[in-house]
Amino acid sequence: MFNVIVAGIASLFTDMSTEMVYPIIPLYLTTVLGAQPLIVGLIEGIAESMASLLKVFSGYWSDRMQRRKPIAILGYSGSMLGKVLLYVSTAWGWVFAGRLVDRFGKGVRNAPRDALIADSTPPDRRGVAFGLHRAFDSLGAAAGVIVAFLALRSVTGAHETGAFHRLFLLSLIPAGLGVAALFFIREVKLLCTPERKHLLAHWRDLPNKLKLFLVVVLLFALGNSSNQFLILRATHLGFSIPTALLLYLLYNLSYALLSCPVGQLSDRIGRKRVLVMGYLFYGLVYLGFAIARAPGWLWVLFGLYGLYSAFNEGTEKALVSEIAPPELRGTLIGLHSALTGIGLFPASLTAGALMTWKSAAPFYFGGALGLLAAVALIVVI
């Protein structure tokens, strides 16, 4: 478990850095730079989609090279550079560039890192391993949100531009610590040599059930827009910027505390059952965001949204890592993330357009697709 813990520490610091700035970006764009929700959706959709598409290629090359560590370090370094661009931003174009560079780093690092975790863990412990890693990740995110809350607790609008920029600068410290931690991870030597096939040839060779599962993942992603729209929803229902950050903190704490128990549950009862529950839960929680009128309900919904994330993210990675042959593990973990990203761009762009029309509309749409994906997953399984 040494590699799992080191990867977790690297993710803790990196996610602390990211979550110091991620939840405030839609507020910075809309209250300081005067951007519309559609611009928020455009930036997040393109940035996250690019990140996810890169994961399949970084995973593929880590399989070809039979080395995960150097690619992961490169990716973590890219995320640090993205924070620099946010610090110098004076218009939404700079924010766009910063998010692109930051998500480029995420796209490069995630598949090799997750493959390294799987390579380092026996099959019957992978649910716990990915759950533990997600717990480290979410604890770092929670710490980042706390720092953001303390830095912005008195912010009321555009006249506090300097507070945002100070926070962007401060986020570079944990980003650098995350890169440094990853140098201690141990490369795992694979016992098999990957076939030198073109990437598309690997897709043709996959079992039909795995292909159908990945199609369901894509369907789900079409309704799973950026979490930044949850924060905007909170401000539309009357929450101040600092209080909206506390809601996001509750989500991250819930996610962190539940990731390991849910990973253990998936080891015991199977990944597929846990994933179906996660998709169903997502659909119901998103519909809750749509129909909520009293601000108090958002405290409940953000906590429950953390439960959905605990059910879904680590379990999907564990399932894909088990299905994939060891020599293709990085490729298939990256392919899974790429399909998620293909759906994320239209999901976030649609959410931005729908929110410009009506605040609750993106959540009706996302909730309906979440429930549909749960039914489709049952059929495929």
CATH number of the domain encompassing residue 107: 1.20.1250.20
**What domain range includes position 220?**
2-186+201-380
Residue 193 counted as domain residue? no
Residue 214 counted as domain residue? yes
Spatial separation of the C-alpha atoms in residues 7 and 181, rounded to whole Å: 8
Looking at residue 284, what is its pLDDT? 92
Residues 6+ apart with CB under 8 A from 342: 49, 52, 53, 218, 221
Among 288-297, 340-349, 368-377, name the one with the lowest average pLDDT: 340-349
Q: How confident is the model at residue 274 (pLDDT cuts 50, 70, 90)?
A: confident
- Of residues 320 and 146, more confidently modeled: 146
Looking at residue 118, what is its pLDDT? 80
Cα 166 to its chain centre, rounded Å, is 25
Average pLDDT, the chain: 81
Spatial separation of the C-alpha atoms in residues 375 and 368, rounded to whole Å: 11
Given a cut of 70, is residue 168 above it in pLDDT?
yes
Residue 363 counted as domain residue? yes
Q: Which residue has the tokens 């073109």?
A: 198
Residue 236 counted as domain residue? yes
Q: How confident is the model at residue 200 (pLDDT cuts 50, 70, 90)?
A: low
- Of residues 166 and 152, more confidently modeled: 166
Angle made by CA atoms 183, 20, 15, in degrees to the nearest 5: 35
- Of residues 155 and 36, more confidently modeled: 36
Other residues' Cβ atoms within 10 Å of the Cβ of residue 308? 24
3-state helix, strand and coil shares in percent for the chain, rounded to the nearest 5: 85, 0, 15
pLDDT mean over 133-152: 83
Looking at residue 192, what is its pLDDT? 54
Looking at residue 287, what is its pLDDT? 92
Residue 195 counted as domain residue? no
Structural domains counted in the chain: 1
Residue 240 counted as domain residue? yes
* Cα distances (Å, whole numbers) of residue 296 to 73, 92, 230, 289, 300: 42, 32, 14, 11, 8
Residue 196 counted as domain residue? no
Looking at residue 173, what is its pLDDT? 92
Residue 78 counted as domain residue? yes
The helix or strand, by DSSP H or E, that contains position 52, with its residue range, turns out to be helix 37-65
